[in-house]
A and B are shown apart, each in its own frame.
Chain A
C-alpha cells in the first residue's frame, strides 16, 4: 500500500505529466492556449485573474523553497529555524489568501455570468475542482496546522521524500508518519501534475518572456521548408522522356 501510494503513484503521475505534455505539444498546438474569455466578461476577471496569478506565483515559489531547499542548507547559511518558519508560514498564508480570493472570484465568474458558463468545458470544471481541492488542503495545512496549532516540520519528512522521488530513492516511511492533510496534499499534488497537460494550464509553459528581447515586427517567409524533397526539374524531365520512350 505504502509503495503504491508513495512510489508508484508519484512516478506514474510524473510520467503522465511528461509524456502528456509531449503528446499535447505535438498533436494539439491549436488547443495550446490560455483560452481567454476576457472578451465575454471583463469586470470580475480584471480583479480575479491578477490576484490568482500573483498568488500562484507566490505559492509556487514557496513550494520550491520549502521542498527543494534542504533544511541543512538554510541552517548553514545562518537562517535560524524559527525565523524560517515564521517567514514560511506568514508568506504562505498571505500568498495563499491572495490565491484563494482570486480563485473564488474566477470560479464565481463561471457561475454568475451566463456567457462564461456556456463556454466552460468539462475539462475546465475538472480543473477548477482539482485546483480548489488542492488549495483547500494546502491552506488547511498552512493555517490549520502551522499557524494555529503547534505546527509540523515538513522539511524533515515530506521535503526529503519529495527530493527522494527525483533521486529515484523515495523513502516511504517519511510520508506514512506525516499528518493526513499533508499526505492528501502531497499525493493530490502529484495527481494534479498528471492532470496538468490535459488542461488549459499548459499555457504556463508558453509564458512569453522572449517578447522582452525580440524585434517588434516579425517577418516570416511563406514556407520554411520545401513540401517534399523535390528532384531537379531536369531529372524529372529526363525520367519522363525515358518513360515515354520505353
Chain B
C-alpha cells in the first residue's frame, strides 16, 4: 500500500456546447509558438467523428496503450523494450503531420495593400506555415465541428467500426436522424501512463505529489516513442525543437491552487478539478484485469476513500499535509467518480487508467421520454426509454465502458432520475421516492448531486490545495532571510537582470540551470542556437 494523491478532472458532457473556448485559451497559454502550431493540448471533438489526429482511437493502426499478452501480462501495444529500441531510427507507428493537419497562415497584406478601384474582391490565400507555399485547407483540429463532413467520414469512427454489426447498424440508423455531442479532450494524466513507459530516455515522468505527467524538456532526446504509445495521441512532437510536448495540467496554476486554464475559462462550467487518493501498488493489478469491462470497477478500487480513517492515517504517515487530506475529502471529482458513480473514464480498454473522467451526455434522454408521451416521474417510463435514446447507449459504451452497455445505462438512469426528481420537487413539491429507490440513492443524495452538477460555484467545482506546505515554509524563510528582492537569491530567477531565454525554466531543476553563469549562446524561440547579446552586460 503506497498512497499517492492525483489531481484529476471530470467533465460533464451534458453541458458542453462545443464553443472551443478551452482549446483557444489553452493554445494562447501554451502552444502559440513556432513548432507547436498543430499542437492542441486541449481540443474539442464532435462525436461521432474520426477525431484528432485522424482515427486516433484505432489502436490496430496506431498501437497506443497497453494490452495483455498470451500469458496475461501487461505489455505496451507498440511492443516490448527491445522492439521499441530496434525501431528508434524510424518509428513505423508515428503519425505524420498529414494525420494532424498542415498549419496554415494567411497573407493578409493582400487585403491591406489592395489598390482602390479593383473590380474583383482581393482574396487572401492560405499558405503553409511550414513551407510558405500556397496550400488548400482540407483538415484541421476541429474540422468535424458540428458533424462537418460526417456524412462521408463518421462511419469510419473507430468507436462505430469496433461495434457488433447489429449495434453498429442501429447507430448508423440513429445517426441518419442526426445525433452528436462534443468531447473535449486533454491529456489523461493516467495512473499507468503508456507514454512514460515508452520514453527511452526517461524524460517523461509522473509527479509524485500530484500525479501530473510531464516531459522534462532538458532530458527529452526526441526518440518520439511517447507519441505512438499514448493511445489518446496527446503527446506531440514540436517540430522546431524536435522534442515532445504535452498538456501540463497547467501545473504552475495547480501549484498555486488555481484551476487549469481550460477549466477557468470553460463557459459551460462543466469541468471539475479535485484530488483523488490512490494506491500506487494496486495500479498494475488493476490495469491487468482480464476482462476489459471490469477495468472501470478495477480502477475505482484503486482509489482510496478520503473519508476512511485508515486512508487519513496513511496520508498523514506519507507526509501529506492536512490541507491535502481536507481537499481530498471535499473533492468534487471523488464525489462524481466514486460517491455517485456517474463519471466514466475515456476508453478504459487502453489500460492506462486515465484520470480525466466524463459524465456522459444526458439531454436527449428526456427528449426521448417526452416524445414518447410518457410520465417522466414514473421510474419505469424513464428507465425503459434509456435504451432508445437519440445518442445510442451502445455508442457511449464504446467510448466510456469498453462496450459495457449496462454500465453506461446505469449512469444515464441516475442522471435521468435526478432530473425527473428535481422537476417534480420544483414544480409541485412532491418527492419521487420511487425514482430514488430505483437508482439506490436517497433524496438528499440526489439533491446534493444535482447541486454539484447544476449550480456548484467556482470553489466547489475546483478544490485544489496549494503546493506542499513544507515548500511554503522554506520559501517564507527564504524571503525573510534576504533584505533584497526574494527573486534575487541563489537559484532564483533574478529580478534586477533582464531575463534571458536560457533562464526561462518554470521549475529550477536542482543543478541543471545555472543562473549565475552567462552563456554566449542562447536558444532562440525556434529552438536553434543564436548569439545572445545582452545590453546590460555581464551578470555580477
Partner-B contacts on A (CB < 8 A):
26-42, 45-47, 49-50, 52-54, 114-115, 117-119, 121, 123, 203, 206, 208-212, 214, 216-228, 230-233, 236-237, 239-240
Asked if B480 contacts A28 (CB within 8 A), the reply is no
CB of A123 to closest CB in B, whole Å? 8
Partner of A233, one of B197, B242, B477: B477
- 5 extra A-B contacts, CB within 8 A, seeds A115-B130, A211-B85: A49-B89, A49-B90, A208-B200, A217-B193, A222-B468
Asked if B222 contacts A222 (CB within 8 A), the reply is no
Partner of A31, one of B95, B132, B517, B527: B527
* A41 CA to B96 CA, complexed, in Å: 7
Measured as residues with beta carbon below 8 angstroms from the partner, the interface class of chain B is 35 or more
* A221 CA to B318 CA, complexed, in Å: 14
CB within 8 Å for A30 and B474 given contacts A218-B206, A224-B511:
no
CB of A152 to closest CB in B, whole Å? 33
Which residues of chain B are near A214, meaning CB under 8 Å?
202
**Per-residue interface assignment for chain B, residues 476 to 514, with 1 indicating a CB less than 8 Å from any chain A CB and 0 otherwise:** 111011000000011110000000001000011111101
Jot down 27 A-B pairs with beta carbons below 8 A, ordered by A. A27-B517, A30-B527, A33-B220, A33-B241, A36-B224, A39-B224, A40-B97, A45-B90, A46-B92, A49-B90, A206-B201, A208-B88, A208-B202, A211-B200, A217-B193, A217-B197, A218-B199, A218-B205, A220-B205, A222-B207, A222-B208, A223-B471, A227-B489, A227-B492, A227-B508, A236-B481, A240-B480
Nearest chain-B residue to A51 (Cβ)? B89
* A27 CA to B88 CA, complexed, in Å: 26
* A38 CA to B227 CA, complexed, in Å: 12
CB of B129 to closest CB in A, whole Å? 10
Partner-A contacts on B (CB < 8 A):
81-82, 84-85, 88-92, 94-97, 128, 130-133, 192-193, 196-197, 199-202, 204-209, 217-224, 237, 239-243, 467-468, 471, 473-478, 480-481, 489-492, 502, 507-512, 514, 517, 519, 521, 523, 527-529
Asked if A224 contacts B222 (CB within 8 A), the reply is no
Asked if A30 contacts B209 (CB within 8 A), the reply is no
Nearest chain-B residue to A234 (Cβ)? B477
Which residues of chain B are near A227, meaning CB under 8 Å?
474-475, 478, 489, 491-492, 508
Partner of A208, one of B223, B478, B481, B489: B223
CB within 8 Å for A233 and B221 given contacts A40-B97, A227-B478:
no
Partner of B196, one of A34, A114, A206, A216: A216
* A34 CA to B203 CA, complexed, in Å: 14
Q: Considering the complex of A and B, which 6 residue pairs feature the smallest CB-CB distances, nearest first?
A: A208-B200, A225-B510, A216-B197, A35-B242, A29-B218, A224-B510
* A39 CA to B235 CA, complexed, in Å: 12
Which residues of chain A are near B492, meaning CB under 8 Å?
227-228
Which residues of chain A are near B468, meaning CB under 8 Å?
222
Which residues of chain B are near A224, meaning CB under 8 Å?
509-511
Asked if A222 contacts B467 (CB within 8 A), the reply is yes
* A208 CA to B89 CA, complexed, in Å: 12
Partner of B528, one of A118, A121, A203: A121
Which residues of chain A are near B82, meaning CB under 8 Å?
212
Which residues of chain B are near A222, meaning CB under 8 Å?
207-209, 467-468, 471, 507
* A236 CA to B523 CA, complexed, in Å: 39
Asked if A36 contacts B242 (CB within 8 A), the reply is yes
Asked if B96 contacts A228 (CB within 8 A), the reply is no
Which residues of chain B are near A212, meaning CB under 8 Å?
81-82, 85
CB of B22 to closest CB in A, whole Å? 24
Asked if B477 contacts A236 (CB within 8 A), the reply is yes
* A31 CA to B220 CA, complexed, in Å: 9
Asked if A40 contacts B241 (CB within 8 A), the reply is no
Nearest chain-B residue to A222 (Cβ)? B209
* A114 CA to B133 CA, complexed, in Å: 9
Asked if A40 contacts B207 (CB within 8 A), the reply is no
CB within 8 Å for A115 and B481 given contacts A37-B239, A38-B224:
no
CB of A127 to closest CB in B, whole Å? 14
Asked if A40 contacts B96 (CB within 8 A), the reply is yes
Which residues of chain B are near A37, meaning CB under 8 Å?
239, 242
CB of B476 to closest CB in A, whole Å? 7
Which residues of chain A are near B507, meaning CB under 8 Å?
222-223
CB within 8 Å for A203 and B90 given contacts A224-B510, A228-B478:
no
* A121 CA to B205 CA, complexed, in Å: 30
Which residues of chain A are near B209, meaning CB under 8 Å?
221-222
CB of B524 to closest CB in A, whole Å? 11
Nearest chain-A residue to B95 (Cβ)? A39
Partner of A220, one of B94, B208, B220, B474: B208
* A26 CA to B218 CA, complexed, in Å: 11
* A28 CA to B517 CA, complexed, in Å: 13
* A228 CA to B508 CA, complexed, in Å: 11
Asked if B481 contacts A118 (CB within 8 A), the reply is no
* A223 CA to B472 CA, complexed, in Å: 13
Nearest chain-A residue to B501 (Cβ)? A30
* A223 CA to B491 CA, complexed, in Å: 13
Asked if A231 contacts B477 (CB within 8 A), the reply is yes
Which residues of chain B are near A237, meaning CB under 8 Å?
480
Which residues of chain A are near B202, meaning CB under 8 Å?
208, 210-211, 214, 218
CB of A56 to closest CB in B, whole Å? 10
Asked if B89 contacts A231 (CB within 8 A), the reply is no
Which residues of chain B are near A118, meaning CB under 8 Å?
130-132
* A49 CA to B86 CA, complexed, in Å: 12
* A142 CA to B192 CA, complexed, in Å: 51
Asked if A232 contacts B197 (CB within 8 A), the reply is no
* A220 CA to B527 CA, complexed, in Å: 26
* A211 CA to B204 CA, complexed, in Å: 12
* A225 CA to B512 CA, complexed, in Å: 11
CB of B5 to closest CB in A, whole Å? 12
CB within 8 Å for A34 and B242 given contacts A227-B508, A233-B473:
yes
Which residues of chain A are near B519, meaning CB under 8 Å?
27
Asked if A30 contacts B130 (CB within 8 A), the reply is no
* A236 CA to B84 CA, complexed, in Å: 53
Asked if A219 contacts B90 (CB within 8 A), the reply is no
* A237 CA to B477 CA, complexed, in Å: 8
Partner of B96, one of A32, A39, A225, A232: A39
Asked if A230 contacts B477 (CB within 8 A), the reply is yes
CB of A27 to closest CB in B, whole Å? 5
Which residues of chain B are near A221, meaning CB under 8 Å?
207-209
Which residues of chain A are near B517, meaning CB under 8 Å?
27
